[in-house]
């Protein structure tokens, strides 16, 4: 190894060159012999060296924000699906070259070292990744936004496939330490649980409530730096870890002996132990509610304590100077919790407290599935959070008076709109609580917002139309184009300059190049290189070889019935059936990739995973098929996998039942990287098609209105009987071709497809899907035109940058400006 260690040169921030600093951290911080550094130690030393560079900017950013009189924003989320941080930080600091050179001294390439980092998988899917993209954009736009979340010891589970079935393993991502976090015990907060609420009179004879006999848990913050792109800004993501208080063992837990009471601390420490892996259904577990309240209470106390440090106990301007964005209803306890703190800890009266609360809370909804709306049983809630429950009942009492006034002729509406769903086991409707307590309620794509206003929340929209607004999602082009697709980045920079990295609307300048034959060819070469990279990745993970001249046809997302991975499999079976019948004239080879995790308790989703694997097994091993069709289920789809997948994808499958996918964000990542979309008129697909132009988008299936109408009289058996292609697909499925020796394993899926009450109308869209897939096949043969369409998709993706989305949150909801 070439070990010329540079002479220590001190830069203006007091740090030596990266090379010097890496060596120093290897020797002193990590106590290692630098010359024998393993990849793992080298990664850690390099990461700490980068973190040191961030710290100066981090402090300066905090100071600038503190000195400004700006409103501050807090993004409250149970999930931040960050992925890796190393390359992101290096690129944002403009250190790529210096880092590459420094690592070269150790015989290591930057990309290779970056592989050492474990993904921070602190989220399920779209909602969690959106939070991470938003933080990136806030830092890029220099906005005073802090993320608040939980520091789960175990993130999203690791998925393995065994005999075609999903197996979950815990993800202990912190095992080797986390170089990106700084623990700040001095900012710890105390969070109360259980106990009871009691009334008392103060010295002036005024009565108040207080929450007593509680079991308290400590919240210890761990801060992660969120760097902006070459702009000196470093914002903060503050993640709370739960710890037992010192007196914890003195409570009711010391009935046993000393050792038993120390061991009882685990109750407190469990709160942030693990991320719940459900992404679309409420589960009503007490631990989940503890997590939600723990996040909310610690974060609100944190903000208030800092306010009091700076401004004293005058809270009259608190509402005007602070804003909390609630990422779905998961942190909706923030509404009653802020009321509690203002009234019980700061002796404010109800009206003033309510005025402040409703000035600073804003709620984002991410779902159209009624079964996914969070509800908590009043009895569970009341036991865990008695004082909050009282406050929620009072919020509801006052709200229902307003309802009565707004709808005098409709007495039933009170029960419909009540925050408390009555019945023998009453429940709290968290979405209603969030709407009543917020000044803004937004959906995440145009269609989604319209459907919310007309459907789930129509009565609220009638009462308060001014609250409702749309913020179509976006993704950060810095991770999802610049970082993950260096080949395309270089081509773009050469053609149109670098400004798109900070402002994606500039990518429109690419449009004229769609007409340039030599550019199209280079575009195609970059795509081919990315397909090779993806094919290698697939081969390493699954052993299956993709033919790089095949259409790379990809569907990666959580497994859910409404996302219709099943429809995709039915199409694969149809292609297989055609090949077996010898009907393969003009068929272009296809490499179909499907990936995603099923919630461990979601039985049907797990059977879908099994079906994909079994069908793949048959198709991939049939000699008659050869290279014409390959089908792969890619295990453990996550952020880092997507960074390899989306640059190599040519066809992006966005095939949900119309009216069910709130937005989708994978669709945007694929578009930026030049994939064409095959999709329904659902979520942000509609806006993608509008921007790209209908001629550059493969549309199929029923729209949301037609879906509603079709449900009334849906007869899937007739569809099967009347369509020979579909009949053969169902025959293959029903004859057990894909489950030899495993009788009945797919009955639940077959029964669903043939059920007139099938919510997802899979067979209703299959014919149209097959037709449009044929158009894809034909279009792909015209390589020039395919590349032209691909360029147009990238060139018109500017709207789907999270910078645009965050710009709209800042001006239309938060009322904040960049800190200069």
Contact set with ligand 26Q (CB under 6 A)? 124-127, 130, 276, 278-280, 282-283, 288, 366-367, 374, 444, 473, 661-665, 683
Answer yes or no: are the C-beta atoms of 216 and 249 closer than 8 Å.
no
Alpha helices in 558-621 (DSSP H): 565-580, 603-620
Give the C-alpha separation, 148 to 337, whole Å.
Answer: 15
**Residue 306 among the catalytic residues:** no
Among residues 669, 691, 788, 799, which one is catalytic?
669
Give the shortest CB-278-to-ligand 26Q separation in angstroms: 4
Give Cβ neighbours of residue 317 (< 8 Å, ≥ 6 apart): 311
Q: 130 or 628, CB closer to ligand 26Q? A: 130
Answer yes or no: are the C-beta atoms of 356 and 338 closer than 8 Å.
yes
Tokens 């300059």 sit on residue = 497
Give the shortest CB-126-to-ligand 26Q separation in angstroms: 3
**Of the candidates 25, 27, 19, the residue with the CA atom closest to the CA atom of residue 105:** 19
Give the shortest CB-280-to-ligand 26Q separation in angstroms: 6
**Of the candidates 326, 324, 325, 268, the residue with the CA atom closest to the CA atom of residue 301:** 324
Phi then psi for residue 539, to 5 deg, are -65, -45
Alpha helices in 735-761 (DSSP H): 747-753
Give Cβ neighbours of residue 452 (< 8 Å, ≥ 6 apart): 365, 368, 441, 443, 461, 468
Cα torsion 271, 273, 278, 283: sign = negative
Give the shortest CB-345-to-ligand 26Q separation in angstroms: 28
Decide: helix, strand or coil at residue 170. Answer: coil
Give the shortest CB-203-to-ligand 26Q separation in angstroms: 43
User: What is the residue-wise DSSP string for 669-701?
Assistant: HHHHTTPEEEE-S-TTHHHHHHHH-GGGSEE-S
Give the C-alpha separation, 339 to 315, whole Å.
Answer: 13
Give the C-alpha separation, 96 to 489, whole Å.
Answer: 14
Give the shortest CB-5-to-ligand 26Q separation in angstroms: 47
**Residue 24 among the catalytic residues:** no
Strands (E), 299-385: 322-327, 361-364, 375-377
What's the farthest any 2 CA atoms get from each other in the chain? Answer: 91
Give the shortest CB-156-to-ligand 26Q separation in angstroms: 11
Decide: helix, strand or coil at residue 105. Answer: coil
Give the C-alpha separation, 743 to 735, whole Å.
Answer: 10
Among residues 557, 578, 788, 799, which one is catalytic?
557
**Of the candidates 492, 464, 447, the residue with the CA atom closest to the CA atom of residue 657:** 447
Among residues 51, 366, 483, 578, which one is catalytic?
366
Give the shortest CB-445-to-ligand 26Q separation in angstroms: 8
Give the C-alpha separation, 743 to 235, whole Å.
Answer: 55
Give the C-alpha separation, 659 to 652, whole Å.
Answer: 19
The helix (run of H) or strand (run of E) holding residue 792 is helix 783-795
Give Cβ neighbours of residue 502 (< 8 Å, ≥ 6 apart): 140, 229, 230, 803
Decide: helix, strand or coil at residue 726. Answer: helix
Give Cβ neighbours of residue 332 (< 8 Å, ≥ 6 apart): 292, 326, 363, 374, 430, 431, 433, 434, 437
CA neighbours within 13 Å on the CB side: how many for 802?
A: 23
Q: 15 or 333, CB closer to ligand 26Q? A: 333
Q: 527 or 557, CB closer to ligand 26Q? A: 557
Q: 631 or 642, CB closer to ligand 26Q? A: 642
Q: 445 or 619, CB closer to ligand 26Q? A: 445
Phi then psi for residue 631, to 5 deg, are -125, 130
**Residue 321 among the catalytic residues:** no
Query: In the complex, which residue's CB is closest to ligand 26Q?
Result: 126
CA dihedral 600, 603, 608, 610 (to 10 degrees): 70
**Residue 558 among the catalytic residues:** yes
Q: 431 or 761, CB closer to ligand 26Q? A: 431
Tokens 């800092």 sit on residue = 306
Give the C-alpha separation, 799 to 346, whole Å.
Answer: 44
Specify the DSSP class assigned to residue 455.
Answer: T
3-state helix, strand, coil in the chain (%, to 5): 50, 15, 35
Answer yes or no: are the C-beta atoms of 117 and 173 closer than 8 Å.
no
* The two three-digit tokens of residue 460, written as one number: 């609220």
Among residues 563, 574, 597, 799, which one is catalytic?
563
Q: 449 or 548, CB closer to ligand 26Q? A: 449
Give the C-alpha separation, 378 to 396, whole Å.
Answer: 13
Q: 122 or 720, CB closer to ligand 26Q? A: 122
Burial class of residue 252, CB neighbours in 10 A (0-12, 13-18, 19+): exposed
Mode of pairing for the β-strands spanning 361-364 and 322-327: parallel
Active site residues: 366, 557-558, 563, 665, 669
């Amino acid at each position: 190894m070439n070990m010329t260690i540079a002479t220590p040169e001190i830069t203006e921030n007091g740090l030596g060159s990266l090379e010097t600093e890496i060596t120093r951290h290897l020797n002193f911080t990590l106590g290692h012999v630098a010359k024998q550094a393993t990849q793992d130690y080298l990664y850690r030393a390099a990461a700490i060296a980068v973190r040191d560079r961030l710290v100066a900017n981090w402090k300066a950013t905090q100071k600038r924000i503190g000195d400004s009189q700006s409103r501050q924003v807090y993004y409250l989320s149970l999930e931040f699906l960050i992925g890796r941080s190393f390359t992101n930080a290096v690129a944002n600091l403009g250190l790529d070259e210096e880092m590459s050179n420094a690592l070269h001294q150790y015989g290591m390439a930057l990309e290779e070292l970056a592989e050492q980092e474990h993904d921070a998988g602190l989220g399920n899917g779209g909602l969690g990744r959106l939070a991470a993209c938003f933080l990136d954009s806030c830092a890029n736009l220099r906005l005073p936004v802090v993320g608040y979340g939980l520091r789960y010891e175990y993130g999203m589970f690791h998925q393995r496939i065994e005999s075609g079935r999903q197996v979950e393993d815990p993800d202990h991502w912190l095992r080797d330490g986390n170089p990106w976090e700084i623990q700040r015990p001095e900012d710890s907060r105390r969070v109360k649980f259980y106990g009871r609420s009691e009334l008392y009179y103060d010295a002036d004879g005024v009565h108040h409530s207080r929450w007593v006999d509680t079991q308290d848990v400590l919240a210890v913050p761990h801060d992660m730096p969120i760097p902006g792109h070459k702009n000196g800004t470093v914002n903060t993501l503050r993640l709370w870890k739960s710890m037992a208080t010192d007196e914890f063992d003195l409570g009711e837990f010391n009935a046993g002996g000393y050792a038993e009471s120390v061991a009882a601390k685990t109750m407190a420490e469990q709160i942030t132990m693990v991320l719940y892996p459900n992404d679309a259904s409420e589960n009503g577990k007490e631990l989940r509610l503890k997590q939600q309240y723990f996040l909310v209470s610690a974060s609100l106390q944190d903000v208030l304590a800092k306010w009091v440090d700076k401004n004293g106990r005058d809270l009259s301007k608190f509402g005007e100077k602070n804003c909390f964005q609630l990422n779905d209803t998961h942190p909706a306890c923030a509404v009653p919790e802020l009321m509690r703190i203002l009234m019980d800890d700061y002796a404010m009266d109800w009206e003033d407290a309510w005025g402040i609360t409703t000035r600073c809370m804003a709620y984002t909804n991410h779902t159209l599935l009624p079964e996914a709306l969070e509800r908590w049983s009043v009895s569970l809630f009341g036991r865990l959070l008695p004082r909050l429950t009282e406050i929620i009942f009072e919020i509801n009492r006052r709200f229902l008076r307003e309802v009565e006034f707004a709808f005098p002729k409709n007495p039933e509406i009170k029960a419909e709109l009540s925050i408390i769903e009555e019945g023998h086991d009453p429940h709290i409707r968290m979405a209603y609580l969030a709407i009543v307590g917020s000044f803004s309620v937004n959906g995440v794509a145009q269609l989604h917002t319209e459907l919310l206003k007309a459907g789930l929340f129509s009565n609220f929209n009638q009462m308060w139309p001014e609250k409702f607004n749309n913020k179509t999602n976006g993704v950060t082009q810095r991770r999802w184009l610049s970082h993950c697709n260096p080949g395309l980045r270089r081509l773009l920079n050469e053609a149109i300059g670098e400004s798109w990295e900070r402002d994606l609307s500039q990518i429109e300048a690419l449009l004229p190049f769609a007409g340039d034959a030599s550019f199209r060819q280079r575009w195609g070469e970059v795509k081919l290189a990315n397909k090779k990279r993806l094919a290698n990745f697939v081969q390493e993970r699954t052993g299956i070889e993709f033919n790089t001249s095949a259409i790379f046809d990809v569907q990666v997302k959580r497994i859910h019935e409404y996302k219709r991975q099943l429809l995709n499999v039915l199409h694969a079976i149809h292609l297989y059936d055609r090949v077996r019948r010898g009907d393969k004239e003009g068929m272009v080879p296809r490499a179909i990739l499907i990936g995603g995790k099923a919630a461990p308790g979601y039985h049907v989703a797990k059977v879908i995973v099994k079906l994909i694997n079994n069908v793949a097994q048959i198709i991939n091993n049939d000699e008659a098929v050869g290279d014409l069709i390959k089908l792969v289920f890619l295990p453990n789809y996550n952020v880092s996998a997507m960074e390899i997948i989306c640059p190599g994808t040519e066809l992006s499958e966005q095939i949900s039942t119309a009216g069910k996918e709130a937005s989708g964000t994978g669709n945007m990542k694929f578009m930026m990287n030049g994939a064409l979309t095959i999709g329904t008129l659902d979520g942000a697909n509609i806006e993608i098609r509008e921007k790209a132009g209908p001629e550059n988008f493969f549309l199929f299936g029923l729209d949301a209105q037609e879906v509603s109408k079709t449900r009334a009289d849906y007869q899937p058996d007739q569809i099967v009987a009347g369509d020979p292609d579909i009949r053969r697909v169902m025959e293959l499925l029903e004859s057990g071709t894909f489950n030899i020796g495993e009788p009945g394993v797919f009955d639940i899926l077959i029964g669903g497809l043939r059920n007139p009450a099938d919510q997802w109308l899979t067979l209703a869209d299959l014919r149209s899907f097959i037709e449009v897939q044929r158009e894809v096949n034909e279009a792909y043969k015209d390589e020039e035109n395919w590349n032209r369409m691909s360029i147009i998709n990238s060139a018109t993706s500017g709207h789907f940058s999270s910078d645009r989305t965050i710009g709209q949150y800042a001006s239309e909801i938060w009322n904040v400006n960049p800190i200069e």
